[in-house]
Structure 1
Amino acid sequence: MPRYIAFYKPYGVLSQFTGEKGQRTLADFALPEKVYAAGRLDKDSEGLLLLSDDGPFIKKLLNPDNAHERVYWVEIEGEPNKAALEELSGGVVFKGYKSKPCRVSRLDPQPDIAPRDPPVRFRKSIPTCWIEIALTEGKNRQVRRMTASVGHPTLRLIRKKIGKLTLTDLVPGIWQDVKKMDIF
């Protein structure tokens, strides 16, 4: 029987089982044997990462033609106005590529999220704000490049949802088995 794992990838961990000396990887979390990450979250991001030993499932999940939704909570520098949020949602250009339209909203109320270790940079004179971005594509460091392009650099990035599956009550470094039907 194939396995499907929902894992809360902590900040600073690679989305793979091997790395350079001193790097934290998925091998540090007692995950089941023969499962592989179905997609990536960069080292500086945290949140929901799917793992499975079902090759066709992973291929389907990673195929851009399937355009499944991924939802991110993003702490940004500054407070975006309506125009910045509309620009993000309409698609922005970064590295010569224009992102597809997506859903973007300011989280209201702002979420109460446990501090990250190490902490996010803090500037007394510049407020921060949490927004939600729902994408159906996944370019390298896309969310970070998108928010920077509208003048609001990403300070913290948490993937909350892939398809129908949400992060729920998982905490950083914890995983659980899930059913395939809970993902799509």
Structure 2
Amino acid sequence: MSRLILLNKPYGVLCQFTAEDGRQTLKDCVPVPGVYAAGRLDTDSEGLLLLTDDGTLQHRIADPRHKLPKTYLVQVEGEPDEAALAALRAGVDLGDFVTRPCEARRVAEPDWLWPRDPPVRFRKTVPTSWLEIVLREGKNRQVRRMTAKVGHPTLRLLRVAIGPWLLEGLAPGQWREVEARLPATGGR
């Protein structure tokens, strides 16, 4: 039977099992042998990471050809207007590639959110806003690069869903095992 683990990856944890320079890794959060991350999440990003011992499932989750949606809550600097949101939705030219169209909308600050350590920088004169962004691809630092390109740098980034799997109910560093089923092609 395949294993599938949902982990709330804390800020600052490397998305690998091998330690580097004494930094925290997935091994510090999930003491389960034989599982590997299905996709990645930057060290300075938080939230849902899936781990499995099934190579086929790992590939199906991580490969953008399967168009599995990944949902992020993003705290950005400033207050994006409709033009900035439309630019995100249409696809952003980041120089080395153009992002695929995505879903992007403003949302209220989540009332269930835990404090981050270290805290997000605060500037009295610059407001912050929250966005929900749903991608069906996942290039290196893509969300951060997209929001910066439209003039609203990312301050905090949390992945809250991958296809049908949700972060809900997991505190930072907590994990739970769920039934390992391949999602239907095309996501939710």
SS at match of 1:34: coil
Identity %: 54
Q: How does 1:70-89 map to 2 (within 5 A)?
A: 70-89=70-89
Moved more, 172-181 or 70-79: 172-181
Measure the CA separation in 2 of the matches of 1:96 and 1:59: 24
CA contact (8 A) 2:57 2:182 kept: no
1:48-88 CA-partner distances (Å, limit 9, x unpaired)? 00000001111222222111100000000001011101111
How far residue 114 of structure 1 moved from its aligned partner, in angstroms, is: 2.1
Residue 45 of structure 2 corresponds to residue 45 of structure 1: yes
Q: How does 1:1-184 map to 2 (within 5 A)?
A: 1-107=1-107, 109-112=108-111, 113-181=113-181
The one-letter amino acid of 1:91's match is G
The one-letter amino acid of 2:170's match is L
Moved more, 149-158 or 94-103: 94-103
Pairwise CA RMSD: 1.3
CA contact (8 A) 1:8 1:49 kept: yes
How far residue 179 of structure 1 moved from its aligned partner, in angstroms, is: 1.3
Measure the CA separation in 2 of the matches of 1:124 and 1:182: 46
Structure 1 gaps, min length 5: none
Paired residues, what number?
183
1:75-134 CA-partner distances (Å, limit 9, x unpaired)? 000010111011111111113211000000000x33222220000011000000010000
CA contact (8 A) 2:60 2:182 kept: no
CA contact (8 A) 1:144 1:154 kept: yes
SS at match of 2:83: helix
Measure the CA separation in 1 of the matches of 2:74 and 2:18: 27
Measure the CA separation in 1 of the matches of 2:73 and 2:167: 11
CA contact (8 A) 1:164 1:182 kept: no
The one-letter amino acid of 1:136's match is R
CA contact (8 A) 2:2 2:180 kept: no
TM-score, normalised to structure 2, is: 0.93
How far residue 25 of structure 1 moved from its aligned partner, in angstroms, is: 0.3
Measure the CA separation in 2 of the matches of 1:66 and 1:60: 6
How far residue 21 of structure 1 moved from its aligned partner, in angstroms, is: 1.9
CA contact (8 A) 1:165 1:183 kept: no
TM-score, normalised to structure 1, is: 0.95
